[in-house]
Amino acid sequence: MEILEKVRELVKPQYDKLGCWIHSWMHIEDVVKFSRELAELEGIDPFPCIVAAYCHDLGRIEEELRELRGDLYLPHALLSIEPTIDVLKEVGIFGVNFAKIVEAVAVHSYRVYEGNNEVARILQDADKLVGLGPRGFLDLIKHFGKEDLIDPQEIIKHARDKEKLRGFDKIAMEKIKQGLLLENVIKGLNIKIEYANMFHADSAKQLGKEGVEYLKNIRDQLIFKFGV
Ligand SMILES: [Fe+2]
Ligand SMILES: [Fe+2]
């Protein structure tokens, strides 16, 4: 079996255990897709980038368990290190690729990464790209607002149907009222709009343009509606 296929088979059942839909399998598949695309556009070997994408959020599973148990909070990127090493050992990845993938996973949620590990740079860009556009808005309502305004099963079912997702966004916007949820949603939108200035690769900047504009438009509509 090809190594990438083996990695996929090892990680998928782990992500399938996640309770929260934002970082579920569809998120991972999309980060893999963007990692491959960006690596090709930037002339970088896609292999370690794809493996890093498959492994990057494995720590979310332990994060959820720790939260349930009331254990001390630890960043999920750090919790991803151990399960990533297990996967790499299992499929026989070692040497330079091993080091680059583990570092990429460990730093993937840093706000600023100034190192020159190209796998880490591609992974950060790919992870950000997935959070933009019509589905990015639904993700951030849950992530920053801690609420599901649209049934997550419906979001997952239509995860790749932009038209349908735009419709969900409209419904969600109508449900947002003045108050803490609005404040948190605006905060989340501002963070994601900032991504436009944080991409490492020029190709990521280009790919992210439309998605950032989409979120800017939503933020401006909310500001106009509520005068915040
Ligand atoms: Fe993450
Ligand atoms: Fe992620």
Tens of pLDDT, residues 112-152: 899 999 999 999 999 999 999 999 999 999 999 998 999 99
Instruction: Of 144, 131, 146, give the one whose Cα is nearest residue 193.
Output: 131
- The closest ligand to the CA of 63 turns out to be 1
For residue 29 the two structure tokens come to 């598949």
Q: What is the pLDDT of residue 111?
A: 87
User: Does the pLDDT value for residue 41 go beyond 90?
Assistant: yes
Residues 181 and 145: beta-carbon distance below 8 Å:
yes
Ligand nearest to the CA of 76: 1
Distance 138 CA to ligand 2 centre (A): 15
The answer, yes or no, to whether residue 67 has pLDDT greater than 80, is yes
Distance 53 CA to ligand 1 centre (A): 10
Between these two residues, 159 and 4, which has the higher pLDDT value?
Answer: 4
Place of tokens 């720590």: 59
3-state secondary structure at position 2: coil
